[in-house]
Amino acid sequence: MGNQPIRIGKMEITNRIVMPPIATYRSTADGKVTEDLLSYYGERAKNSHIGMIITEHSYIALRGKAKEHQLSISDDRDIPGLSRLTEVIHQGGTKAMAQLNHAGSAAPSSATGGRPVSASGIVLPTVPMMGDGVVPEQLTREQIAAVAARFADAAERAKRAGYDGAEIHSAHAYLLNQFYSPLTNHRTDEYGGTLDNRLRIHREVIRAVRERVGADYPLAIRLGGCDYMEGGSTIADAVYAAKVFEQEGIDLIDVSGGMCRYTRAGHDEPGYFQDLSAAIRNAVSVPVMLTGGIRTLRQAEQLLDAGAADLIGVGRELLKNPYWPDGAKE
């Protein structure tokens, strides 16, 4: 089943294995593509025979930069470098999606030069702490509208640079995840409180992006569906959110963790977020991707056969070994 093609919106990919975003921080100080980054992705596109690579999280605005040497998609001057990156991935025979991110309160002042922003003035509950750990500034309505516009600008750049699609990052305790999680969103206006309100910024971002890139451009969202923490977001929240995203025109739900980030305490079995992905998959008709702990093609096949997801992400194995799965043990 892993070798069956699948459609993500209007795009067909040749098989069900995807390299999820893995930040390498190999860009220049101002986020431009380097030769090192090109050869890293080129090697993986050419040798792994996977269906798609989602390139590492790229900041949509300086205020949302997560780390020094992170890849930028915040400026039109980034487009020539990003075009070379998509070319290299396409030459390897693999589709490419860009991951668009605003780090919110996880952005350190060493990267952004300013105070971090978030849904509320609440320090992240992540362990270890992300960013500087200082109390962030609560975004105003006007600033929220500007964030949606920055996502749209970045998505347009992804399209112009030849990416086959774009993924909106709403996982791993970054800005959109900070709005979604009740642990970090204590707002009392229309962007906080009920789950519908906590998803308002997502709807506005998706609409702004969709309007900019057109109806046919494949759009994914990485959903940090569940915090797996007391008082945090739940699987039921994630199922509801996924249905909202589908209604708003998202073509792929890429499932991962929330405030727990991309790992899950006490779990390292293959597909450790499968309770989340399977519940979402039962509720939506767009494809669902599951990542986390999958090391071999056989494990990927088993999860696909069990109906846990439609696509499987393999991160750290491909980070270590561009020849995966041929070079893998099974």
Ligand X SMILES: Cc1cc2nc3c(=O)[nH]c(=O)nc-3n(C[C@H](O)[C@H](O)[C@H](O)COP(=O)(O)O)c2cc1C
**Positions that interact with ligand X (CB under 6 A):** 20-23, 56-57, 99, 169, 171-172, 222, 256, 262, 291-294, 313-316
How many of the other CB atoms lie within 10 Å of CB of 175? Answer: 32
If the CB atoms of residues 22 and 158 are measured against ligand X, the closer one turns out to be: 22
Q: Which residues contact 266 (CB under 8 A, 6 or more apart)?
A: none
Q: Phi, psi (5° rounding) for residue 306?
A: -75, -5
Q: Shortest distance, CB of residue 325 to ligand X, whole angstroms?
A: 12
Nearest residue (CB) to ligand X, 21 versus 322: 21
Q: Which of 40, 59, 174, 228 is catalytic?
A: 174
DSSP per residue, 263-321: SBTTB-STTTTHHHHHHHHHH-SS-EEEESS--SHHHHHHHHHTTS-SEEE--HHHHH-
Shortest spacing between CB 322 and ligand X, in angstroms: 14
Residue 142: CB atoms within 10 A of its CB come to 7
Nearer to ligand X, 42 or 292 (CB): 292
Q: Shortest distance, CB of residue 161 to ligand X, whole angstroms?
A: 17
For 148, residues 6+ apart whose C-beta sits below 8 A from its C-beta are 201, 204, 205, 207, 208
Residue whose CB is less far from ligand X, 179 or 262: 262
Q: How far is the CB of 155 from ligand X (least distance, A)?
A: 16
**Closest separation between CB of residue 268 and ligand X, Å?**
9
Decide: helix, strand or coil at residue 103: coil
Residue closer to ligand X by CB (options 26, 159) is: 26
CB of 169 to ligand X, least distance (A): 6
The residue number whose beta carbon is nearest to ligand X equals: 315
| CA quadruple 36, 106, 223, 140: dihedral, nearest 10 | -130
Task: List own/partner pairs for 299-302 with CB under 8 A and 24 or more apart.
Answer: 299/270, 299/271, 300/2, 300/16, 300/17, 301/1, 301/2, 302/270
Q: SS3 of 47, please? A: helix
SS3 221: strand
Please identify, using beta-carbon distances, which residue of 99 and 118 lies nearer to ligand X: 99
Active site (annotated) includes residue 174: yes
Question: Which residues have a catalytic role annotated?
Answer: 174
